[in-house]
Amino acid sequence: DIQMTQSPSSLSASIGDRVTISCRSGQSISNYLNWYRQKPGKAPELLIYSASSLQSGVPSRFSGSGSGTDFTLTISSLQPEDFATYYCQQSFSTPAPTFGGGTKVEIK
Amino acid sequence: QVQLVESGGGVVQPGRSLRLSCAASGFTFRRHAMHWVRQAPGKGLLWVSVISSNGNIKYSEDSVKGRFTISRDNSQNTLFLQMDSLRPEDTATYYCAREAEGALDVWGQGTLVIVSS
C-alpha cells in the first residue's frame, strides 16, 4: 500500500488568510493525487483532481500543485465555509485508493 | 441532479450481519466504478471496497476481506455492501462514492453502522 502523509495535522487560521497543506506519498505517484474537503457532519467533497485540476463548481481560491511524491493544497483566502478537514488521496495504486490522515483547519 | 443515497445502517451485535444499499440517480450508473469508504467516529477516511462498472472486478481492504462483499445491480442503479461477522471496530459512517478517473467525485450522505452488544 502507498502511504500518504499530510502535514500539519491541524492548523489555526483567520478569515482571509492564505493556507497551505502538504501531502507526501511513500513512493512516486506522478500526478495521481486528489484533494477533498469535509465539513463537520458532512460527506467529503472533491476539490482538486490530478494534483492541480479544479473540480467543476469549486471556487477558484482552491489550487493544487506538485508531482512525484510532494503535493500542496493552497487556499488563497480562507472563507468561513473552509473551516473543515482536508484529505489527500492517491489514485496511482488502483483500484485501492489510500487517503492521508487529514488536516483540520480551525478558526484562530 | 446527480445523487447517491445510502441506507441500511443501524445498531447490530458483534458477529451479526448488515446490508447497506446506495441508490444512484442523475447519472449513468453502469458506466462508473463505485466505492465504499468508511469513517470511524472522530477518525479519518478509510477506503473499504471497490467494484468495476460491470461488476466483474472487486477489491476490498485487508481488514474486511472475507467478511464484506460489494455488489451492484445496474438494472436498479444500486450498490450494495454485505457486511458479515461484524466487529466493534467496524463501527463507522459508511459512504458510497462514484469514481471518475481515479477521483471520488460524488459522495452519498453516509449511513452510520454501530456494532455493539
Average pLDDT of the residues in B39-67: 96
Query: What are the E-state strand segments in B1-107?
Result: 3-7, 10-12, 18-25, 34-39, 45-51, 58-60, 68-73, 78-83, 92-100, 103-107
Q: How far, in Å, CA of A52 to CA of A61, rounded?
A: 13
Distances (CA, A) of B70 to A12, A22, A83, B93, B106: 39, 33, 34, 16, 18
Grid coordinates representing A23 are 501531502
pLDDT of residue B56: 96
Q: How far, in Å, CA of B59 to CA of A42, rounded?
A: 26
- Subunit contact B103:A102, Cβ cutoff 8 A: no
- Compute the nearest-CA separation of A96 from chain B (Å): 7
A40 in contact with B at a CB cutoff of 8 Å?
A: no
CB A59 within 8 A of CB A72: no
- Compute the nearest-CA separation of A43 from chain B (Å): 5
Neighbouring-strand partners of residue B103: B100
Nearest to A28 by CA among A67, A73, A72: A67
Which of chain B's residues have a Cβ under 8 Å away from the Cβ of A47? none
Q: How far, in Å, CA of A67 to CA of A10, rounded?
A: 23
pLDDT of residue B104: 97
Average pLDDT of the residues in B18-27: 98
A34 in contact with B at a CB cutoff of 8 Å?
A: yes
How many residues comprise chain B?
117
- Compute the nearest-CA separation of B79 from chain A (Å): 17
pLDDT of residue B6: 98
Q: How confident is the model at residue A108 (pLDDT cuts 50, 70, 90)?
A: confident
Amino acid at B6: E
Average pLDDT of the residues in B7-17: 98
Q: In the predicted model, what is the mean pLDDT of chain B?
A: 97
Q: How confident is the model at residue A94 (pLDDT cuts 50, 70, 90)?
A: confident
- Among candidates A44, A87, A96 on the partner chain, residue whose Cβ is nearest the Cβ of B50: A96
Give the DSSP letter of residue A59: -
